[in-house]
Amino acid sequence: MVGSDIHEANISGRRKMAISKEADVLRALYQSWTDQMVENPNLTILNLRSMFDEWGQPALEPEGVTYKSDTVGGVEAIWAMPEGADRSRVIQYTHGGGFAVGSADSHRKMAGHLAKALGVTAVVLHYRRAPEHPFPAQIEDAVSAYKALLEQGFAPENILTAGDSAGGNLAISTVLKLRDLGLPLPGAVIAYSPWLDMALRGETLETNAATDALVSRAILEGMAGMFLGDKTDPLDKLANPLENDFTGFPPLYINCGGAETLRSDSEALCEKARAAGVDVELSVVPGMQHVFPALSGRAPEADAELARIAAWYKAL
């Protein structure tokens, strides 16, 4: 397997295809959220959580996947269990939502599709959220759940950490914290559109501002403020994974949409990981919005991405 493949480089050699009508479902959902936030600037965090729980709508139910509520390491969670899955392998999935919104329930279908594609199980964590629980509560919960999986008998090499957006940050920062603690690291990491740079230095925050239907600098500033509180530096190494040396990091798969403002975070992560000798692959899919695998089972672009991830995982 060749690391650091960037799929958009291959795609751009052909004509960049228009997005499918199925993929536009996600753009339309994001635009509706943006419109609501503009029209109602005083929405409470409870209002926002209710709205963002609609994130589960674009993905179709993955066939042959059952779910079970559980508590793992003191953290509420939902297991996704595909028929015929290798029960000795598990994805620890952390949902997106700026560390403040989103839930295990809003992301269970997306995680279920990923687990089914890889032929493993998944456990979706409903970690503590900001602003009630600022950094580092989210990482503490993810580490606690990981330790519990080890205690349940999962071999570290058979655990993957995965997540989207802020959850993609957690999938990476959890591994960095495990490294700091001297604990065995998972076998691989998957990050969908990770939001990594709390200092908001990525150039695509500006260059893709007109094409991203949801994620703006203003939204990120608000979410970062809730996550970091008034005590944490935006360049803190666990809050901001881009501030780390990735030497010894597990194999890493990153994807993002070509239209999204956080594309720079994915590209910067790929560059840092590659420079540290990590087996890393970056997939940038033209025209796609933030966390486009939310369209799993519905849009051909998301299903093709799942097939690429599965091929990558099986080649490890």
Catalytically annotated residue among 113, 126, 133, 290: 290
Phi-psi region of 233 (alpha: psi -120 to 50; beta: other; left: phi over 0): beta
Which sign, positive or negative, has the C-alpha torsion 135, 140, 146, 148?
A: negative
Distances (CA, A) of 204 to 230, 265, 271: 27, 9, 16
Q: Is 106 assigned a catalytic role? A: no
First to last CA, the chain: 8
- Report residue 91 as tokens: 């994805």
Catalytically annotated residue among 260, 267, 301, 305: 260
- Report residue 226 as tokens: 């809730």
Q: Is 165 assigned a catalytic role? A: yes
Residue 120 phi/psi, 5° resolution? -130, 180
On the 0-12 / 13-18 / 19+ scale of CB atoms within 10 A, 38 is exposed
Alpha-carbon distance of 115 to 124, in angstroms, equals 11
Alpha-carbon distance of 122 to 139, in angstroms, equals 18
* Closest among 215, 210, 139 to 173, alpha carbons compared: 139
- Report residue 95 as tokens: 């949902």
Catalytically annotated residue among 106, 107, 140, 165: 165
Q: Is 264 assigned a catalytic role? A: no
Q: Which are the catalytic amino acids? A: 165, 260, 290
